[in-house]
């Protein structure tokens, strides 16, 4: 099973709301990622978790708060977002070490389309 | 630093024809992997094919093949017998051994298959 699931598929929120995006994988991967993608652009890395610990934060504003409760789950908590944060948010997972497991490719979920009004 | 360049913002191909999507890369690391992903309008990034820098043969996966020319630092994706469902955005990406968890993406190529 090479599936990464994300909920919700679509989310509309006001600038004062608090919401969360959820991601789940059951491939035994120990690295998980959050990406932000604007239309017709490549994904931009936001956060990387390795063995449930935050290893990379690409200078993301604090209104985005990631959480990795266990090796299968990844959350992204949203608070006081701006309209420019509207985008597709993609979760991905992979084996954490080069040369370990399969090919090292990242498997992506279907994404959450976020609109901030 | 690593860089991926995709010079074709948009490509058109007739159904059942073959098409090549270009990708060049730049890295000083001798150990790296090259990936192609397909992204339909629904949004999901679908992994297509992988080529390791030490692989002697070009990767193939069904109708997808990767034309890997190491000296020219190119990793072009060839799709044979195009189908209407191949219409999508295609991203080339690279991962290097020193940054094992991060992908560097190209800007993408929007492929449209014509009936």
Reading chain A (117 residues) residue by residue, the pLDDT tens digits are 568 999 999 999 999 899 999 999 988 888 899 999 999 999 999 999 988 999 888 889 999 999 999 999 999 999 999 999 999 999 999 876 555 433 568 899 999 999 999
Conformational region of residue B73, where left means phi above 0, alpha means psi within -120 to 50, and beta covers everything else: left
> Which residues, numbered 84 to 103 in chain B, qualify as contacts with chain A under a Cβ-Cβ cut-off of 8 Å?
89, 91, 95, 97, 100-103
Chain B neighbors of A93, CB-CB under 8 A: none
Q: Say which residues have a Cβ less than 8 Å from residue B56's Cβ, sequence separation at least 6.
A: none
User: Which chain A residue's Cα is nearest to B52?
Assistant: A103
Give the residue from A100, A98, A76 showing the smallest Cα distance to A27.
A100
- Dist CA B101 CA B93 (whole Å): 12
Tens-digit pLDDT profile for residues B39-94? 999 899 999 999 988 888 999 999 999 999 999 999 999 999 999 999 999 999 99
Sign of CA dihedral A7, A24, A38, B22: negative
| Residue A92 to chain B, least CA–CA distance (Å) | 9
Give the residue from A100, A104, A112, A80 showing the smallest Cα distance to A16.
A80
Given A48, A98, A103, which is nearest B97 (Cβ)? A98
Given B35, B100, B107, which is nearest A42 (Cβ)? B107
């Amino acid at each position: 099973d090479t599936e990464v699931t994300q909920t919700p598929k679509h989310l509309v929120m006001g600038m004062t709301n608090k919401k969360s995006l959820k991601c789940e994988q059951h491939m035994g991967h120990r690295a998980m990622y959050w990406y932000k993608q604007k239309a017709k652009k490549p994904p931009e890395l936001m956060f990387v978790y390795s063995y449930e610990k935050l290893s990379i934060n690409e200078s993301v504003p604090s209104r985005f708060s990631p959480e990795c409760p266990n090796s299968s789950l990844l959350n992204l908590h949203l608070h006081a977002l701006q309209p420019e944060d509207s985008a597709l948010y993609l979760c991905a997972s992979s084996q954490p070490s080069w040369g370990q497991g399969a090919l090292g490719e990242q498997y992506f979920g279907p994404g959450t389309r976020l609109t901030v009004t | 630093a690593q860089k991926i360049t995709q010079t074709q913002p948009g490509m058109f191909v007739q159904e059942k024809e073959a098409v090549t999507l270009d990708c060049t890369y730049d890295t000083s690391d001798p150990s790296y992997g090259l990936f192609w992903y397909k992204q339909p309008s629904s949004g999901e990034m679908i992994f297509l094919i992988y080529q390791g820098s030490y692989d002697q043969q070009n990767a193939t996966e069904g109708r997808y093949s990767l034309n890997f020319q190491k000296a020219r630092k190119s990793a072009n994706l060839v799709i044979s017998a195009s189908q209407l469902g191949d219409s999508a955005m295609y991203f080339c990406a690279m991962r290097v051994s020193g940054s094992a968890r991060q992908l560097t993406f190209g800007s993408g190529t929007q492929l449209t298959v014509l009936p």
